[in-house]
């Protein structure tokens, strides 16, 4: 498998089809899962069913796979294998890594593609494909620890997960070095949590797989690699011993994969080669305007448009995030992607670096002010005002050109170079800045999330945005232009455009009052029943329900969440629920999921602090909250307190500097912060109303 050579973030359409948001199962309650296909047949039986069942270990939450992530690469490769055979790929999750092979043998799945080392013990139970890569066991230390130059000087506790070859290596080390004590970690503990234990000093060192460590080092600066221990082990996929036809097909496919040389990162490809490779690489940025992770889903206007283009080509979409806006075109020139989709204006200077498609979007530069302001009738209304923008932005040049006019007198103040436009808009909304300037599509996105800002006047005519390809990819450009011509202002384009730029994603707050004497909602009894069952304050859950749906059982969000508690259908399905419009089903599955989220946080958190973390995770995803806790610790804040601590770190995860170092990337940090504060405020109001 390719090794980690950069900090690029690699996404793929595969993650939505094959992985999506990992299955979420409640901890304290046995849930009847929906019936699943179960058989022990070979490829002929698999073809009859039309489904290839991929066995994977359940993750604690969805995550952003990094380039070099061996597990992600294997999932992607397995997805392509299924598609090549015309099969639907169904992911079957098991609770622990140690459950993978028993589930395979029992017929719950057909294939294990999960960073699986080939060992004699495993070979006695299953059949392995030809190796697809290799891994080594490496010692891992906290960044503040200086690893010894000689393993003989190792002391303290060394940890590894049960059921892995890593634990065997740990015991071998302890036999050689008497000052080491082995800590056997439950297979239920995720690698990310294990790294956290190391950083927190709960263990002194870890034994970790080189592929897993390489991925973590792309975004974690609080750990470091030590020496290699043990010999390299081959990695392969596992099938049942009698699945000879499936094994042969897999080996043929893997040999073709290696011959195509997909491990090479840099290449310039045109349409035929892209189709042969089966992947289309899009270079973009990780933000609300292009694509991002929210509640376990990959989203974004550019992302959805590119997905459909990849579908037309019959290939998988890989999304590669550039570290900065300035590196988009250099990466394209270097062959690190096939095209750039990041709202680029095809300027004359940029045309010397790349070939541009026909426009697919248009935007103008708009002065942004607070909602209460009266729209400006002309640029003369800028007199006496102060506008804050970055010098590196196009807005700076536009404003300087206006300042050259003798009849205009306004101030232009430089914003910090790393301050994003969305942050500047937030500062204007809060009254810290007078005015700023934004592209109209960025302003439109912000206005779908908030109602405290407005566009005051357009400073420019609309300028086009286009995709960029390498100058040598002439056929790709031709095919791309044909697609964009058909797609532009078509049904899917219009629906997607409305979702990201027009439809409101927030619900205006209303004054708190009793629904009727002694009641705060139409569903008090229902909420009491399930809140008490799971140990939650029912008044808090009603406040949350109001925030989610305004007590409308038919409410549906822009992401497809449904019902009173706004649960995603795919999440509900994993708990055994389907009819989310039914109030009781929505409340029950919402509380089951809240309970599951609560159990993802450490027990040492105080109960009154833990609930705020749970609410934030329900809103934005557990992974983003964990990223914020780690960042809070780095910033000298308390990672165990939400208000005025972790919430401050959450806000920073909207900034590229911090999002690049986060496991789950960019998040609209203002949303979970506002969500939690609104629920707390309403909860206190409900408590007072009922008390009186």
Residues known to be catalytic: 548
Q: How many Å apart are CA 395 and CA 414, to the nearest integer?
A: 11
Alpha helices in 182-318 (DSSP H): 191-199, 210-216, 244-260, 271-277, 301-313
Q: Phi, psi at residue 98, to the nearest 5°?
A: -70, -10
R_g (Cα) of the chain, nearest Å: 27
Looking at the DSSP bridge assignments, the partners of residue 297 are: 294
Task: Please give the DSSP secondary-structure letter assigned to residue 354.
Answer: -
Distance from C-alpha of 611 to C-alpha of 123, rounded to nearest angstrom: 46
Residue 181's beta-bridge partner residues? 157
3-class secondary-structure state, position 549: helix
Residues β-bridged to residue 521: none
Residue 3's CB: how many other CB atoms inside 10 A?
12
Q: What is the rounded CA–CA span in Å between residue 82 and residue 288? A: 32
Please give the Cα distance from 488 to 361 (Å, whole number).
8
Pairing of strands 51-57, 111-112: parallel
Give Cα separations from 79 to 238, 253, 613, 680 (angstroms): 15, 12, 34, 43
Distance CA 16, CA 91 (A): 11
Q: Report yes or no: 4 and 68 within 8 Å, Cβ to Cβ.
A: yes
């Amino acid at each position: 498998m390719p090794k980690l050579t950069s900090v690029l973030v690699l996404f793929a359409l595969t993650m939505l089809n094959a992985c999506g948001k990992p299955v979420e199962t409640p901890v304290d309650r046995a849930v009847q899962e929906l019936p699943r296909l179960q058989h022990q047949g070979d490829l002929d039986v698999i073809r009859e069913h039309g489904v290839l069942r991929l066995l994977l270990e359940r993750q604690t939450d969805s995550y952003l796979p990094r380039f070099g992530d061996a597990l992600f690469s294997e999932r992607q490769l397995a997805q392509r294998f299924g598609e090549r055979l015309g099969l639907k790929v169904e992911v079957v999750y098991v609770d622990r890594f140690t459950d993978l092979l028993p589930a395979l043998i029992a017929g719950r799945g057909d294939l294990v593609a999960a960073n699986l080392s080939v060992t004699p013990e495993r070979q006695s139970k299953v059949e392995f494909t030809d190796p697809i890569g290799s891994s080594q066991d490496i010692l891992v230390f906290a960044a503040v620890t200086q690893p010894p130059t000689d393993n003989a000087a190792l002391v303290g506790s060394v940890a590894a997960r049960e059921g892995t070859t890593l634990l065997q290596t740990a015991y071998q080390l302890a036999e050689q070095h008497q000052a080491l004590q082995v800590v056997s970690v439950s297979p239920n503990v995720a690698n990310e949590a294990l790294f956290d234990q190391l950083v927190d000093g709960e263990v002194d060192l870890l034994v970790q797989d080189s592929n897993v460590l390489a991925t973590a080092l792309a975004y974690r600066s609080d750990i470091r690699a030590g020496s290699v221990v043990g010999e390299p082990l081959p990695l392969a996929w596992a099938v049942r011993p009698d699945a000879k036809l499936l094994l042969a097909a897999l080996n043929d496919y893997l040999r073709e994969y290696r011959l195509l040389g997909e491990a090479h990162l840099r290449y310039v490809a045109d349409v035929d080669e892209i189709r042969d490779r089966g992947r289309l690489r899009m270079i973009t940025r990780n933000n609300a305007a292009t694509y991002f992770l929210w509640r376990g889903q990959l989203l974004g206007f550019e992302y959805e448009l590119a997905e459909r283009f990849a579908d037309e080509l019959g290939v998988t979409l890989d999304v590669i995030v550039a570290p900065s806006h300035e590196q988009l075109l250099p990466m394209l020139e270097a062959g690190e992607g096939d095209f750039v989709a990041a709202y680029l204006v095809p300027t004359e200077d940029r045309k010397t670096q790349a070939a541009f498609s026909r426009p697919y979007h248009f935007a103008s530069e708009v002065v942004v002010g607070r909602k209460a302001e009266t729209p400006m009738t002309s640029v003369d209304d800028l007199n006496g005002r102060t506008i804050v923008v970055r010098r590196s932005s196009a807005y700076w040049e536009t404003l300087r050109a206006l300042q050259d006019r003798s009849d205009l007198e306004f101030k232009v103040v430089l914003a910090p170079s790393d301050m994003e436009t969305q942050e500047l808009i937030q500062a204007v909304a809060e009254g810290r800045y007078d005015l700023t300037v934004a592209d109209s599509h960025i302003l439109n996105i912000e206005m779908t999330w908030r109602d405290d800002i407005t566009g005051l006047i357009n400073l420019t005519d609309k300028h086009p945005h286009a995709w960029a390809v390498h100058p040598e990819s002439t056929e790709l450009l031709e095919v791309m232009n044909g697609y964009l011509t058909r797609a532009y202002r078509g049904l899917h384009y219009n629906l997607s455009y409305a979702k990201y730029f027009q439809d409101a994603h927030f619900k205006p707050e209303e004054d708190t009052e009793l629904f009727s004497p002694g009641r705060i909602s139409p569903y008090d009894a229902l909420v009491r029943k399930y809140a008490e069952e799971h140990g939650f304050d029912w008044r808090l859950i009603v406040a949350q329900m109001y925030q989610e749906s305004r007590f409308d059982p038919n409410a549906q969000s822009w992401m497809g969440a449904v019902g009173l508690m706004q649960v995603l259908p795919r999440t509900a399905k994993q708990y055994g629920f389907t009819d989310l419009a039914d109030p009781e089903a929505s409340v029950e599955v919402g509380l089951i999921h809240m309970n599951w989220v609560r159990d993802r946080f450490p027990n040492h958190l105080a109960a009154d602090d833990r609930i705020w973390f749970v609410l934030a995770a329900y809103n934005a995803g557990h992974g983003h909250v964990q990223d914020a806790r780690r960042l809070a610790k780095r910033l000298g804040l308390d990672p165990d307190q939400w208000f005025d601590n972790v919430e401050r770190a959450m806000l920073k995860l909207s900034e590229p500097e911090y999002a690049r170092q986060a496991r789950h990337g960019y998040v609209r940090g203002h949303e979970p912060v506002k969500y939690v504060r609104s629920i707390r405020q309403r909860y206190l109001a409900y408590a007072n109303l009922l008390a009186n």
